[in-house]
Amino acid sequence: MGRLKDTLLKDLWLKIFSLVFAIFLWMSIVGGESAEELFVVPLTIRNIPENMIISSDVIDFVNVQVRGQRALLKTLRPRQINIGLNLQDAVEGENNVTLFPEEATLPDGLSVVRINPSQLTIKMDRLHDKVLPVVPTFMGTPASGYEMGKAAVMPDRVRVMGLENVLREVVRIETKHIDLFGKDQSFSEEVGLNSPNGNILIKGAHTVKVDVEILEKLAERKFQDLPVRLRQPRAGVIITPSRVTLTVQGPESLIHRLADASVEVVVPQPTEPGLHEVTPEVRLPDGCQLQKMEPRTVRVTVPKESKAFKAPEAPKELQEPEAREEPQKPDA
């Protein structure tokens, strides 16, 4: 037993070194063997000519046979392989394009043996442009008592590109939804555009500015039997009818708390005696508007004997001389 132990321990370090070297040599031989492996790689399209578009179906992936050392192949991932479809020389119509293994890019020490499919037929069509109006779209509602007014878009038109037969059917381009929920005052917002079709390209900026007007809701209220008065009171003047009915519009919060006394109906002072047909003037608080008045006119009667219209006296020099009594002659 002791002799066996001595035999195992003799030249121990040399034996360990020999074992490690043998393992390393084996891995080098096995790992250095050339091998091939198949990868499914996404196809990258580049260099599409300006004002042209692919109008045919194009595959998204190709099969790529890669050769190299087995150790390198084991660490290779599909994303490290780049297979590009170069359309730089493509023309309108059908184009036969070849995928050459030499044009593939991948880590050093590896090479592409073949690509399947290697021949592709790509159809190209020329793009046309068109100017479309921009229409804002909204979701939600403003706060209680408020409503949306006008919405101004800047710019209000954009230029798009696409196939002629596709553009023919498109008449506008819409914005992404603008949220109105709970809004109680006007606001501005930068908002993106929604392409009406996947084959339509937006030229220039893909956003517009939208100014949205938020207004307080309007309400109407009827004021009945409001008195009509003269702008300058004068005795003897009669107004018929002496009361009118008004329909007034204004902000909801203001119109409902409006008192009758804050609404005045007055007529101008007639300048001549007689009967006058007059349209009264209605005085309302700011923000309110007159919608209707019944009746629309009143009659103002000014009597002739009214002191307000007493004819002025003629100048003395134009007055007739008074009759003078002749002096009586003394009796004879």
Pairing relationship of beta strands 83-86 and 34-46 according to DSSP bridges: parallel
Indicate whether 178 and 133 sit together in one domain: yes
What pLDDT is stored for residue 235 in this prediction? 82
Indicate whether 201 and 229 sit together in one domain: no
Residue 282: inside a domain:
yes
What pLDDT is stored for residue 304 in this prediction? 81
The end-to-end CA distance of the chain, in Å, is: 209
Residue 321: inside a domain:
no
Give the position of tokens 């004021």.
Answer: 223
Pairing relationship of beta strands 238-240 and 298-302 according to DSSP bridges: antiparallel
Contact 119, 94 (CB under 8 A): no
Is the N-terminal amide bond of 133 cis, ω within 30° of 0?
no
Residue 27: inside a domain:
no
Indicate whether 223 and 208 sit together in one domain: no
Mean pLDDT of 117-131: 92
Domain stops at, among 195, 216, 237: 216
Q: Could you tell me what percent of the chain has a pLDDT over 90?
A: 57
What pLDDT is stored for residue 163 in this prediction? 85
What pLDDT is stored for residue 25 in this prediction? 54
Gyration radius of the chain's alpha carbons? 49
Residue 94: inside a domain:
yes
Residue 64: inside a domain:
yes
User: Which burial class, exposed, middle or buried, applies to 277 when counting CB atoms under 10 A from its CB (0-12, 13-18, 19+)?
Assistant: exposed
Indicate whether 138 and 204 sit together in one domain: yes
Residue 7: inside a domain:
no
Indicate whether 44 and 78 sit together in one domain: yes
Q: Cα 185 to chain center, whole Å?
A: 16
Indicate whether 222 and 301 sit together in one domain: yes
Residue 132: inside a domain:
yes
Indicate whether 114 and 185 sit together in one domain: no
Task: State pTM to two decimals.
Answer: 0.52
d(CA 274, CA 7): 150
Indicate whether 289 and 271 sit together in one domain: yes
Q: How confident is the model at residue 236 (pLDDT cuts 50, 70, 90)?
A: confident
Half-sphere exposure at residue 50, Cβ-oriented, CA atoms within 13 angstroms: 1
Instruction: Give the domain extent around 101.
Output: 33-125
211's CB contacts (< 8 A; 6+ apart) are 151, 152, 154, 186, 187, 188
Structure tokens at 152: 């101004």
**Which of the pair, 76 or 316, is modelled with greater confidence?**
76
Whether the predicted pLDDT of 28 surpasses 80: no
Indicate whether 229 and 298 sit together in one domain: yes
Q: What is the mean pLDDT of the chain?
A: 85
Domain stops at, among 216, 246, 280: 216
Indicate whether 141 and 209 sit together in one domain: yes
CA dihedral 192, 196, 199, 201 (to 10 degrees): -40
Q: How confident is the model at residue 21 (pLDDT cuts 50, 70, 90)?
A: low
Indicate whether 196 and 149 sit together in one domain: yes
**Which of the pair, 114 or 316, is modelled with greater confidence?**
114
Give the position of tokens 């009667």.
Answer: 301
Indicate whether 198 and 225 sit together in one domain: no
Domains in the chain, number: 3
CATH number of residue 163's parent domain: 2.170.120.40
Give pLDDT tens digits for 138-186: 999 999 889 999 999 999 999 998 888 888 889 999 999 999 999 999 9
CATH number of residue 87's parent domain: 2.170.120.30
Residue 72: inside a domain:
yes
Domain stops at, among 216, 233, 256: 216
